[in-house]
């Protein structure tokens, strides 16, 4: 215990004598960990079963298909959706989703925005956190009740108030009543536009043309392969019914979670500019190693003197690594606090359109990211950035250093 106290005391003393070096190390480490935390959180948001995707592993999603020649033949006609879903065995529920663009107006404010037509099952499968009100049900959809659900930032943008349930707004010339408001979520984790209305008001629904993105929810005890086979059989029956040769294989179908993971790489490419900015934040990590290497001589005399008095290689190594570990820990903690401001800046600069609300690249920092990501990486970062300089210092020739040499 006394040895550790001595390591800590020596580290604090050394930091006090090298304040500029310590400041650069802390700032560089902080921004390096901002990059690490944002990337880890994005991966976690995209690939995990966190809300609203708590059912991602047991929901099979599909949209468009190709014929035997590889040509796109579209999806399931909207008027045939119910017919198809009825033929899926062991299903628990299903959702319909269709994105459109049109004029959204509240009082004198009118904007052209994206909005989504969904059914009642959408809210059962995707469990959003409602901060006000509730979702509309499938029965309310069939009753043609003109309800709308808004995302938190959209509600604030249009109404500038907290209690918006019961307020009126026009979408494509039709008046809707706000029935619920959901909490903001990561723009990266889910492609949803923040305005949801019943599918029955979709202009193509009466004619039956056009198609929805569909998701079929299965009970928890049904194996994934069985889910895919059940959906594949129903989809093949549909294409036979309309006399089209479409080969639908179970291995070409995905769960909601699998689809999101599969799209993760293409999403990174699509958002290349902000990702490039994040990658630039790795430069401080390289600078820290360089600073530590340049700071080797500052330790040499002290370490050599202690070794001459009987200190071992391990003691010399630990004295240096303790100082670097302290700087890394302070930098990592600072990085955690800087994550939200930096993520907000990236969101405003690259992800958000001024007409579509302002929400963060990440909305929640999960404790799993901190425990399983930041802490282990802090240890690794300490070893990588400080291990080599500490080893070089500890291995220096005592006599040469005390004589004023550089080896």
The total domain count for the chain is: 2
Both tokens of 239, joined, read: 């294409």
Beta bridge partners of 117: 98, 197
What are 169-202's pLDDT values in tens digits?
A: 999 889 999 999 998 876 565 656 789 999 988 8
pLDDT at 60 over 50: yes
Find the mean pLDDT for residues 34-63.
82
* Residue 167 clears pLDDT 90, i.e. is over it: yes
pLDDT digits (tens, 9 = 90+) for 83-112: 898 999 889 999 999 888 889 999 888 888
Same domain membership, residue 302 and residue 324: yes
- Give the tokens for residue 404: 């004023």
pLDDT given for residue 135 in this prediction: 97
CA distance 71 to 61: 20
Where does the pLDDT of residue 269 fall: very low under 50, low under 70, confident under 90, or very high at 90 and above?
Answer: very low
The sign of the dihedral angle between the CA atoms of 24, 27, 30, 35 is negative
Task: Yes or no: say if 227 and 219 are a contact pair by the CB < 8 Å rule.
Answer: no
Q: Which two tokens stand for residue 276?
A: 């490039």
Q: For residue 24, what pLDDT is reported? A: 82
Residues 123 and 204 in one domain: yes
Measured CA to CA in angstroms, residue 224 lies from 1, 103, 228, 254, 407 at distances of 54, 41, 6, 9, 63
Q: What is the pLDDT of residues 295-330, one digit of tens each?
A: 655 666 566 666 555 555 666 677 777 888 888 889
Q: How confident is the model at residue 20 (pLDDT cuts 50, 70, 90)?
A: confident
| The total number of residues written for the chain in this structure | 407
Share of the chain above pLDDT 90, in %: 23
pLDDT over threshold 60, residue 15: yes
Find where tokens 């990501």 sit. 373
Query: For residues 244 and 73, is the Cβ–Cβ distance under 8 A?
Result: yes
How far is it, in rounded angstroms, from Cα 331 to Cα 72?
51
**Per-residue confidence band for 125, with pLDDT thresholds at 50, 70 and 90:** very high
Q: Is residue 355 part of a domain?
A: yes
Residue 398 forms part of a structural domain: yes
Q: Has residue 280 got a pLDDT over 70?
A: no
Least confident of 230-234, 331-335, 373-377: 373-377
| pLDDT per position as a tens digit, 198-227 | 998 887 544 445 688 899 999 999 999 999
Highest mean pLDDT pick, 7-21, 39-53, 151-165 = 151-165
**What torsion do the CA atoms of 117, 123, 128, 130 make, to the nearest 10 degrees?**
90
Question: How high is the pLDDT of residue 138?
Answer: 92
Which range scores top for mean pLDDT: 121-125, 255-259, 278-282, 339-343? 121-125
Same-domain status, 144 and 63: yes
The predicted model scores a pTM of 0.75
For residue 347, is it within any domain? yes
- Same domain? For 277 and 298 the reply is yes
Regarding whether 192 and 165 lie in a shared domain, the answer is yes
Is 85 among the domain residues? yes
Cβ neighbours of 212 (radius 10 Å): 24
- Look up residue 278 and give its two tokens: 């994040």
pLDDT for res 12: 82
The domain of 83 spans 56-254
246 shares its domain with 322? no
Say which DSSP state 98 is in: E
Which run of H or E residues covers position 383? helix 375-394
Q: Domain check: are 235 and 96 in the same one?
A: yes
Same domain, 194 and 61: yes
Select from 228, 254, 280 the last residue of a domain.
Answer: 254
Any domain includes 264? no
**Do 305 and 202 fall within a single domain?**
no
């Amino acid at each position: 215990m006394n040895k550790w106290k001595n390591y800590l005391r020596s580290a604090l003393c050394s930091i006090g004598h090298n304040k500029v070096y310590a400041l650069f190390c802390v700032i560089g480490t902080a921004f390096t960990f901002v990059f690490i935390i944002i990337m880890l959180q994005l991966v976690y948001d995209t690939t995990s079963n966190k809300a609203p995707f708590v059912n991602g592993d047991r929901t099979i999603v599909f949209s468009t298909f190709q014929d035997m020649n590889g040509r796109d033949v579209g999806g399931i006609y909207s008027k045939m959706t119910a017919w198809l879903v009825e033929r899926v065995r062991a299903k628990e529920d299903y959702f319909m989703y269709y994105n459109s663009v049109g004029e959204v107006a509240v009082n004198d404010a009118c904007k052209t925005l994206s909005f989504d037509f969904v059914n009642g099952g959408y809210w059962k499968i995707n469990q959003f956190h409602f901060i006000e009100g509730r979702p509309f049900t499938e029965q309310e959809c069939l009753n043609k009740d003109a309800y709308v659900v808004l995302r938190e930032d959209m509600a604030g943008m249009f109404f500038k108030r907290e209690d918006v349930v019961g307020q009126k707004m026009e979408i494509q010339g039709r008046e809707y009543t706000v029935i619920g408001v959901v909490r903001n979520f990561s723009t990266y984790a889910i492609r949803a536009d923040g305005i949801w209305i019943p599918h029955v008001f979709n202009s193509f629904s009466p004619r039956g043309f056009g198609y929805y993105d569909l998701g079929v929810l299965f009970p928890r005890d049904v194996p994934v392969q069985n889910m895919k086979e059940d959906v594949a059989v129903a989809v093949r029956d549909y294409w036979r019914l309309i006399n089209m040769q479409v080969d639908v294989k179970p291995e070409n179908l995905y769960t909601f979670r699998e689809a999101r993971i599969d799209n993760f790489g293409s999403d990174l490419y699509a958002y290349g500019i902000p990702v490039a900015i994040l990658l630039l934040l790795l430069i401080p990590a390289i600078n820290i190693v360089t600073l530590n290497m340049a700071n080797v001589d500052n330790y040499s005399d002290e370490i050599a003197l202690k070794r001459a008095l009987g200190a071992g290689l391990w003691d010399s190594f630990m004295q240096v690594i303790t100082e670097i570990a302290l700087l890394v820990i302070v930098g990592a903690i600072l990085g955690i606090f800087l994550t939200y401001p930096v993520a907000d800046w990236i969101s405003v600069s690259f992800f958000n359109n001024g007409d579509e609300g302002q929400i963060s690249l990440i909305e929640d920092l999960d404790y799993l990211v901190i425990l399983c990501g930041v802490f282990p990486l802090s240890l690794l970062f300490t070893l990588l950035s400080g291990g080599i300089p500490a080893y070089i210092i500890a291995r220096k020739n005592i006599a040469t250093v005390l004589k004023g040499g550089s080896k």
